[in-house]
A and B are shown apart, each in its own frame.
Chain A
Amino acid sequence: QVQLQESGPGLVKPSQTLSLTCSVSGDSISSGTHWWTWLRQHPGMGLEWIGYMHHSGNTYFNPSLRSRVAMSMDTSRNQFSLSLTSVTAADTAVYYCARTCDGGSCFDYWGQGTLVTVSS
């Protein structure tokens, strides 16, 4: 059974960098079979796709966030990470990691999500 678990600080100060890690079990992120994804949900709002990464190093990012987003992989730990710079209160959200399946909007396994609050 594939499982994903997000981890990282729950509180980030404005203008700082939000960094989250997703630990994957039950699948290998280096297999190249899937892309690995970050999404978020603002309080009381819908889901928003942040971007995804493939083991090859290829990435796709939401154009609205592209200038502030980076993703990386640590294959030795079977983890992938999200970095979002220059955060503001508008980046307060529950952040999810997920595995991508067929097509660009198919996500078949998700983490439980982690709330990140941007506040001084």
Chain B
Amino acid sequence: QSVLTQPPSASGTPGQRVTISCSGSKSNIGSNSVNWYQHVPGTAPKLLMQNNNQRPSGVPARFSGSKSGTSASLAISGLQSEDEADYYCAAWDDSLNGALFGGGTKLTV
């Protein structure tokens, strides 16, 4: 069972805005930055958001990230069909002394 908690699924229609949450604790999200990954099964996962809210080069501006306390969220505005994928949050955990992933959220468009 993942220490970072994500909803197993989310959905929206094209053009809508959706938000995916990631809940952790003081030792992970509360103390370290959160990164988000987009994964289309059968392909390599893609870094979508780093250091809570920084978009790597090439990631559209309609993707945004935020963090508050021990929770983080990823927002996708102007939803497109190609956004259909699994989304994972990740953070370093100071107690585990290792990287943790959320269980993943399957986004259906």
Contact = CB atoms under 8 A, between A and B. Distances in A.
Instruction: Decide whether A and B are members of one complex.
Output: yes
A96 interface: yes
Contacts of B46: 110
A46 B50 contact: no
The majority secondary structure among interface residues of chain A is loop
Interface residues of B, number: 28
Contacts of A63: 96-98
A48 B34 CA distance: 15
Contacts of A103: 32-33, 35, 50-51, 92
The majority secondary structure among interface residues of chain B is strand
B10 interface: no
Interface of A: 45-49, 51, 60-63, 96, 101-108, 110-113
Contacts, number: 76
Interface in B11-58: 32-35, 37, 39, 43-47, 50-51, 56
Contact of B44 (A49, A96, A104): A96
B65 interface: no
Given A46-B102, A47-B101, A110 B51 contact: no
Interface string B71-105: 00000000000000000101110001111111110
Given A105-B99, A111-B44, 7 more contacts: A46-B88, A48-B101, A63-B97, A102-B51, A105-B33, A105-B91, A107-B35
